[in-house]
Structure 1
Amino acid sequence: MSTTQVKAYGTQAADADLKEIIIKRRELTPKDVEIDILYCGVCHSDLHTARNDWQNTVYPAVPGHEIVGKVTNVGDSVTKYKVGDTVAVGCLVDSCRACSSCKDDLEQYCENGWTGTYNGPDKHLEGQQTYGGYSQKVVVDEHFVLKVPENLDLAAVAPVLCAGITTWSPLRHWNVKEGSKVAVVGLGGLGHMAIKLAKGLGAEVFLFSRSPEKKQDAKELGCDAVIISTDENQMEAVAGKFDVIIDTVPYEHDLNPYIATLHHSGTLVLVGFLGPLESILNTAPMVMGRKAISGSLIGGIAETQELLDFCGEKNIVSDIEMIDIQNINEAYERMLKSDVKYRFVIDMKSLN
């Protein structure tokens, strides 16, 4: 297949900074959409991939799976989009589309393995992995392209494609609605979106935090109250209260105190931490109250479109700090220190 060269920002090794490189994008197939990238959000997964924290990175690596842009060309068989449309691409650019998960619009659980927007096998270009949104353009099958409501701040839409859908999917799956009682553990990129979206669905929303200084920020995002998780009295006061807890903490932590705050049949959903939990889990309150611990991974394409439409109706976007691509290495260091409210977004015209 013929290719086109485009500028990107990527890294050649785990211990190397990101810098400008040239990558290849495929020429359009009949179902492809070519997108000029305007904005790309910066996710912790980008950093983990660039630095090979998950031991699966193929170099050179070009991160970025929170993409917003304009359609510049379409394949002959494309029906959903036309040149000039404002569109988005999230964490997925392909799946088998034939397994039961894909048929249920849950491509993120594809039984034959979905293809990530970056660092996945590119079935169109033999021997090459997919390259992400830290680049001028991307070419994506129309099935995995999303419509963006025109009324939204396009830069602030970018993190909705990952931080937003990661929290929206469990809120929808566990049927959060008007009057539901939802708690969020951790106030960062994921946590701030969980608060906004749960509030938009009509829930009563609380934040669990170890940091009293986050109270004002949480209230401004729409939280009804903040519970200091290290304060036993505050934790006892919300025992048995919550229908759903969205746990966004990305490192190992004790779940037992939070399970005690679930209402009967309530569920704590892990969306931030991947890996073994070494603290002993006390199953007694789970058995006695039909409480559950579950996990959730991003969302399917239909669900992500539903989220974008909802954000358009409710005027919900992420709180962002805009950066130029030349500052991405500094942004990674700041992100490790949680020194951002709440998501970096790259203005991709800085690459040009």
Structure 2
Amino acid sequence: MYQVNAKAVFGPEDNFQTTRIERRELQNDDVLIEIKYAGICHSDIHTVRGEWGEVAYPLVPGHEIAGIVSAVGSSVKKYQVGDRVGVGCMVDSCGECQHCKEGEEQYCEGPHGHTGTYAAIDKYGHYTQGGYASHIVVTEAFVVRIPESIPLEKAAPLLCAGITTYSPLNHWHAAGKNVAVVGLGGLGHMAVKIASAMEANVTVLSQTLSKKEDGLNFGAHAYYATSDSETFSQLKNSFDLIINTVSAVLDYDSYLNLLKLDGTLVNVGAPADTASLHISRLISARRSFAGSAIGSIKETQEMLDFCGEHQIMPEIELISADKIDEAYERVLRSDVRYRFVIDTKTI
């Protein structure tokens, strides 16, 4: 086993502490990665604080991982020492169900679904620990290559925020369509950049106009405040696709009314509370209310290559590991533009 440095919490209300965790010895198909940067996702906060169910402590979160290959197992063919690589929200899946065979591992129907990068039990019976650490061991099939044109610190958030927004934009064929993005945070700003590069006509729907200049600079054609009731009457029947990145329950009926005939509202934010809507809003214009979870490994690589080609990168604030607790509080206050990234050499 490898002993590596990490930042962990030992309870749902605890601050982060420096600790040592174990990584498994390399199996034949494993890759040892020296983590250089790890992004902070809102999902990390939900999980750490037990808001999505019970977790085992100590817990090392982090599923936006960018680093350098340090060693490879004997049967690894795709990577070699020194390669620039990333790891996202999953590190394995059953590989046998229909979804896995079709290359949609994120929807794995195995006994436990796909194996999360942290807070999950892997096939060896180990509790997975994430990217707020110096190193990680991952099976080759769940490692992706980072293009040379993307700095590693900028690549890290793409492994969650990038693929989470790219996947629905790709699946619902955003190119050339009228697309609205709800929320301009870590996910939302990536949705705007990616949709714009896909040549969609992009509108941001945010609670206020405080980030309007940013949204337009990221590629949006228009920007509206949802706190203004006139927005919903003015934009009725306007959009082919709405990507909702907000993790709070919304008045979904109002947003569904913004869709054209055959339009789709896709949720990538995951509110903890139960939501409601009137089915008549769907029936009246053959609209769809959908969800989307991250993306497959194949699609994640496609996303990275797309971002490398179009020079799409997140806006980040690089922090040292002793600032994680402060960063969490700032995320909860929406006081970040637009993604915190931990420099893991400071752990």
Question: TM-score, normalized by length of structure 1?
Answer: 0.96
Q: Structure 1: how far apart are the matches of 2:18 and 2:227? A: 45
Identity %: 49
TM-superposed CA distance for 1:55, in Å, is 2.2
8 A Cα contact 1:227 1:235, kept in partner: no
TM-superposed CA distance for 1:278, in Å, is 4.4
**Residue 239 of structure 2: which of 223, 231, 242 is its match?**
242
Q: SS at the partner of 1:108?
A: helix
Residue 50 of structure 2 aligns with an amino acid whose one-letter code is N
Partner of 2:329: 333
8 A Cα contact 2:23 2:136, kept in partner: yes
**Residue 59 of structure 1: which of 43, 57, 60 is its match?**
57
1:21 counterpart = 2:33: no
Aligned runs of 1:1-352 on 2, under 5 Å? 3-112=1-110, 113-124=113-124, 126=125, 128-177=126-175, 179-279=176-276, 281-351=277-347
Q: Structure 1: how far apart are the matches of 2:23 and 2:102? A: 30
TM-superposed CA distance for 1:123, in Å, is 2.3
Q: SS at the partner of 1:77?
A: coil
Q: SS at the partner of 1:212?
A: coil
8 A Cα contact 1:228 1:235, kept in partner: no
Q: Structure 2: how far apart are the matches of 1:273 and 1:120? A: 19
Provide the alpha-carbon RMSD of the alignment: 1.2
Q: Structure 2: how far apart are the matches of 1:139 and 1:84? A: 15
Residue 291 of structure 1 aligns with an amino acid whose one-letter code is R
Q: SS at the partner of 1:14?
A: coil
Q: SS at the partner of 1:118?
A: coil
Q: Structure 2: how far apart are the matches of 1:56 and 1:147? A: 33
Q: Structure 2: how far apart are the matches of 1:227 and 1:336? A: 22
TM-superposed CA distance for 1:282, in Å, is 2.4
Query: Residue deviations 1:281-321, cap 9 Å, x none?
Result: 22223212110100111111001000000001001011000
Residue 314 of structure 1 aligns with an amino acid whose one-letter code is H
8 A Cα contact 1:323 1:344, kept in partner: yes
Query: Residue deviations 1:127-163, cap 9 Å, x none?
Result: x300101111000000000000001121011111001
Aligned length: 345
TM-superposed CA distance for 1:275, in Å, is 4.3
TM-superposed CA distance for 1:62, in Å, is 0.3
Query: Residue deviations 1:53-74, cap 9 Å, x none?
Result: 2222111100010000000100
Q: Structure 2: how far apart are the matches of 1:278 and 1:209? A: 19
| Structure 2 unaligned blocks of 5 or more | none
TM-superposed CA distance for 1:239, in Å, is 1.5
TM-superposed CA distance for 1:94, in Å, is 0.5
